[in-house]
Structure 1
Amino acid sequence: MKRTMGAHPCKGAPLSGLAGLGFVVACIWVAFNVRRWNNREVLQWDTDGYYLYLPATIIHHDLFGVSFLDGIAPNGFQGGYRFGQGAYLVPGTGRYCDKYTMGTAVFELPFFLMAHTWCLITDRDAADGYSPPYHLAVAFSSAIWAWLGLLALRRFLLRHVTDALCAIVLLVIGLGTNLFFYASYAQGMAHPVLFFLCALLIERTSAWYERPTMGRAMLIGACIGMATLVRPTCALFALIPLCWSMGRNTRHRLATHGSCHRIAGPLAAIATAVLCVLPQLFYWKAASGQYLFYSYGTETFDLTRPHVLEALFGFRKGWFVYTPAALVALSGLIVLWRSDTSTGAAQDYVRMCLLFLIPFVYLTFSWETWWYGGGFGSRVMIDVLPLLAWPLAALVQRVSQGGAWFRTGSGLLLVGCITLNLFQQWQYQRGIIHYEAMTFERWCQVFGRSTSIGLPAFP
């Protein structure tokens, strides 16, 4: 199953490269068919809040007053959605604070600057941060970061599996999960960015344990710090390199390197992570008077009542209901563990996945709005999809060694997962699947339907 190790694992691997390219082309094709930017529909609700930092700082120089929003016309969504609804007045300071952290805006910045330059040069659209080119820029940013995440995942996988197997895994993750939905239709959310950061963190952590260098350690810290800046609960990403180090094989490999690397590397990673989150702390201090400020008001976690079973198996937003490929991939953890009879590297990886996923899932679905509002499927689990790539590869590898009927049936199962995922996303776009209030009864009513005509009215 393992490829010959080399400095550049992606060399001589055209199939997986084409799989990644096919994903981003499909995302762009869907985006251009829908063209949500024409009606300024990309920046709404959460996406608007993530993005607000950019026009407020770069164009209007009004980060804490956001009075410029009064001059931005509503985009017509649901009868006149007003931009900037994520910003609220902080009592005591008289300044506005964005509810959302600035990490997603940082990753949208290059695309924002291109859109702003275009508006200034052509003078065809208002250079106010909210005309269609800016929506287009945000839409493209989601597709590109999701694609870069697949490329990072490809680099990791090619250290362990063949090119063809890697291509299959990338296609299943890219098209068989709701990553595709948030990279091609509901763009501007944090999840494609977090998918990229998680994939890069896995790849760099694996590389660091093979050969620790200061640069790799700092990039690990940057991934953790930026993930925290995007979504504070993703500070849990720090568990990935930490839990990986608990494995016997990983500890043995690390022991062969000097103690300088074992000490200086983690310190460099921690310092880099802290540097990444400092801008948010300074922003909170300026807006609220506190370096650590809880910006979500009365919204909170209830750690005594997690909704794990509902979030995984329920029909409202169940991860395994709307992304069945995730359940298939998760079962690959067992196969990956059993397939490791020599080095122990795969067992170290499985152990890390379990030690990370258990607290991540528990905390994520302890949020009072555990379904996370409108959207397709369990969108928060997109953030950690890269963890399932190697287990899925192990499962596909095992299937390929079976009989013809077993291989055919398993192949049809994967194709069915991809087809169901894409079809249900299509249903969601047309309002057949409700954005946040699905039930088992309603799911049965709409299953396989291409139109809502003839369906009972939604309660």
Structure 2
Amino acid sequence: MNRTIKMIVGGALALVVLVWTVHDSFRQHQVIDTDDWKTELRADAAGYYIYLPGVIHHGMRPGWLSDERLRIIGSGIQEDTARNIIRTKYTYGTALIELPFFLAAELIVGWGNSDGFTPVHHRAMDVAGIVLWWSGLLLLWSALRRKWPVPGSIGLALLFLMSQGTNVFYYAFRSPAYSHIGSWVLVCLALWCWAHGVSGRDGRWRGALFRIACAWLILIRPLDLLLVLALYALVLADEPFTRRPRWFLGQIVIGIALALPQMFYWQAAYGDPIVFSYQNEGFTNWRTPHLLATLLAPKNGLLPYAPAFLLLPVAVLAAWHRERTRTIIVLFMFLLYWYAVSSWWDPAFGCSFGQRSFVQTVPLLAMITWCAVHHWWPRRPAIVLLLLAPFLAAAFINNMLAHLYDMCYWSTTWDPTQWLGNIRQVFN
């Protein structure tokens, strides 16, 4: 089978999977009323999304949201009648990613004919989640195969493991309007730019894309500065051109350009262009971080809902001698991220499927795992297959768990009753 036929067949299969996943997402969500608290546009998701109908149709002025809608959205936004503005503690970065899908919904419903929370707008966010998830997988495939070639079947198995053996799929499929799947695709984009080169005549536009992705990540979640530092470390280690002042000046200009709209909004909403809008929330547990709970707890711990992360220490050991610099970068980033998330005032992060803050770190887990497989496969293929087999089985189970999860973990931190009950449901 020549290369062209392979590309056609692969593209057709990818399209079939994409369409089927969108259909499955619609089927899952259409039974949930748009006024239900389990809707896609609830809580944090609505806080990000509010910029779209708010700015485009109402200039962020209050008075157009019903009391019921405000109740579903929760405490993330307030109508400030004194300043005549809707205040949201979230930044506009996620809304900017969702903008094309919102505009498509507006064209279907009629420009400005609704409050922006119709069933069509909800389905648009469902499509957004699946498209962003799928785009990230394609970018990862291209990036990692370029850096570390592996057989196609092994590469597909690794992508399946990273998307289903973690909570990435859940935040594409069940909670698509949260920030995490948008951040996921930005990290995948940055890795793609790095893998294909960001310097030279052919790489300049990728260098610009890399810096846009990095600035966008920080705009969405300032904590992802840790991710950006890791991405920068990878680029600086490989591309001497990026160590020049001109490169960093470009990053500063891009960062300011993305930050300015947010600063103008904060000035109007809070009276100051730079605001910690989360107010009484923060990293208050920095002296006593909840490290074990963040990692292992049935209530939103990382490993019970993202078993693929168990491969991280194995991959680090496997890649240590041949890829030491990259391995140190990834390992250091994960340790810092683990500490930071464990220091948050609520380390469970409310209603979540596992540790949702780690969704955007999965591309780096994929990178180091793929690297390890690349080095092991020619000499130890049996070990690779023996390692992957149980993790692929766990990924299938995790996919079914994501489908039936009840949006929140209602038991206490270390009470496994709900998690075990969900696992039993999977096998029934």
Q: Which position in structure 2 is the counterpart of 1:161?
A: 149
SS in 1 for 2:392: helix
Per the alignment, do residues 19 and 356 of structure 1 end up closer, same or farther by CA in structure 2, a change over 3 Å counting? farther
Per the alignment, do residues 136 and 426 of structure 1 end up closer, same or farther by CA in structure 2, a change over 3 Å counting? closer
Shift of 1:438: 5.2
Shift of 1:285: 0.8
Q: Which residue, out of 242, 262, 269, partners 2:232?
A: 242
Per the alignment, do residues 16 and 374 of structure 1 end up closer, same or farther by CA in structure 2, a change over 3 Å counting? farther
Q: Is the 8 A contact 2:22 2:126 kept in 1?
A: no
Q: Residue by residue, what CA displacement relative to the aligned partner does 1:303-331 show, whole Å, maximum 9, x if unpaired?
A: 22222221112222111122111212452
Q: Number of residue pairs matched?
A: 417
SS in 2 for 1:449: helix
Per the alignment, do residues 360 and 326 of structure 1 end up closer, same or farther by CA in structure 2, a change over 3 Å counting? same
- 1:273 has 2:255 as partner: yes
Q: Which position in structure 2 is the counterpart of 1:28?
A: 22
Per the alignment, do residues 441 and 58 of structure 1 end up closer, same or farther by CA in structure 2, a change over 3 Å counting? closer
Q: What letter matches 1:348 in structure 2?
A: T
Q: Which moved more, 1:206-215 or 1:366-375?
A: 206-215
Residues in 2 aligned to 1:436 and 1:106: alpha-carbon distance in whole angstroms: 35
- 1:193 has 2:182 as partner: yes
Shift of 1:185: 1.6
Identity of aligned pairs, percent? 24
Q: Which residue, out of 293, 301, 305, partners 1:310?
A: 293
Per the alignment, do residues 270 and 207 of structure 1 end up closer, same or farther by CA in structure 2, a change over 3 Å counting? farther
SS in 2 for 1:88: strand
Q: Which position in structure 1 is the counterpart of 2:133?
A: 146
Q: Is the 8 A contact 2:305 2:354 kept in 1?
A: yes
Q: Which position in structure 2 is the counterpart of 1:423?
A: 400
Q: What TM-score, normalized by structure 2, do the two folds share?
A: 0.86
Q: Which position in structure 2 is the counterpart of 1:57?
A: 55
SS in 1 for 2:110: helix
Q: Which position in structure 1 is the counterpart of 2:44?
A: 46
SS in 2 for 1:450: helix
Q: Is the 8 A contact 1:428 1:435 kept in 2?
A: no
Q: Which position in structure 2 is the counterpart of 1:182?
A: 171
Residues in 2 aligned to 1:284 and 1:206: alpha-carbon distance in whole angstroms: 36
Q: Which position in structure 2 is the counterpart of 1:262?
A: 244
Q: Is the 8 A contact 2:48 2:92 kept in 1?
A: yes
Shift of 1:109: 0.7
SS in 1 for 2:86: strand
Q: What letter matches 1:152 in structure 2?
A: L
Q: Which position in structure 2 is the counterpart of 1:323?
A: 306
SS in 2 for 1:265: helix
Q: Is the 8 A contact 1:316 1:437 kept in 2?
A: yes
Residues in 1 aligned to 2:292 and 2:145: alpha-carbon distance in whole angstroms: 34
Q: Is the 8 A contact 2:161 2:395 kept in 1?
A: yes
Residues in 2 aligned to 1:21 and 1:379: alpha-carbon distance in whole angstroms: 27
Q: Which moved more, 1:32-41 or 1:167-176?
A: 32-41
Residues in 1 aligned to 2:233 and 2:402: alpha-carbon distance in whole angstroms: 35
Q: Which residue, out of 255, 260, 276, partners 1:294?
A: 276
| 1:5-404 matches, cutoff 5 A | 21=15, 24-25=18-19, 27-36=21-30, 39-40=33-34, 41-59=39-57, 61-63=58-60, 65-70=61-66, 74=68, 81-83=71-73, 85-88=75-78, 93=83, 95-120=85-110, 127-159=114-146, 160-162=148-150, 163-208=152-197, 211=200, 213-244=203-234, 247=237, 250=238, 254=240, 262-302=244-284, 303-338=286-321, 340=322, 346-397=323-374, 398=376, 401-402=379-380
Residues in 1 aligned to 2:64 and 2:419: alpha-carbon distance in whole angstroms: 47
Residues in 1 aligned to 2:145 and 2:9: alpha-carbon distance in whole angstroms: 11
Q: What letter matches 2:55 in structure 1?
A: T
Q: Residue by residue, what CA displacement relative to the aligned partner does 1:196-230 show, whole Å, maximum 9, x if unpaired?
A: 01111122133346647442332222111111222
Q: Which residue, out of 400, 409, 424, partners 1:434?
A: 409
Q: What letter matches 1:419 in structure 2?
A: F
Shift of 1:49: 0.7
Gaps of 5+ in 1: 1-8, 341-345, 454-459
Per the alignment, do residues 245 and 42 of structure 1 end up closer, same or farther by CA in structure 2, a change over 3 Å counting? closer
Q: Is the 8 A contact 1:88 1:98 kept in 2?
A: yes
Q: Which position in structure 2 is the counterpart of 1:3?
A: none
Residues in 2 aligned to 1:355 and 1:10: alpha-carbon distance in whole angstroms: 41
Per the alignment, do residues 311 and 222 of structure 1 end up closer, same or farther by CA in structure 2, a change over 3 Å counting? same
Shift of 1:452: 13
Q: Is the 8 A contact 2:405 2:422 kept in 1?
A: no
Residues in 2 aligned to 1:320 and 1:221: alpha-carbon distance in whole angstroms: 31
Per the alignment, do residues 335 and 26 of structure 1 end up closer, same or farther by CA in structure 2, a change over 3 Å counting? farther
Q: What letter matches 2:273 in structure 1?
A: Y
Residues in 1 aligned to 2:171 and 2:343: alpha-carbon distance in whole angstroms: 23
Residues in 1 aligned to 2:134 and 2:11: alpha-carbon distance in whole angstroms: 11
Per the alignment, do residues 235 and 19 of structure 1 end up closer, same or farther by CA in structure 2, a change over 3 Å counting? farther
Q: Is the 8 A contact 2:129 2:176 kept in 1?
A: yes
Q: Which moved more, 1:272-281 or 1:440-449?
A: 440-449
Q: Residue by residue, what CA displacement relative to the aligned partner does 1:408-445 show, whole Å, maximum 9, x if unpaired?
A: 5334312222122123223414x7x8357453442574
Shift of 1:403: 6.8
Residues in 2 aligned to 1:178 and 1:435: alpha-carbon distance in whole angstroms: 18
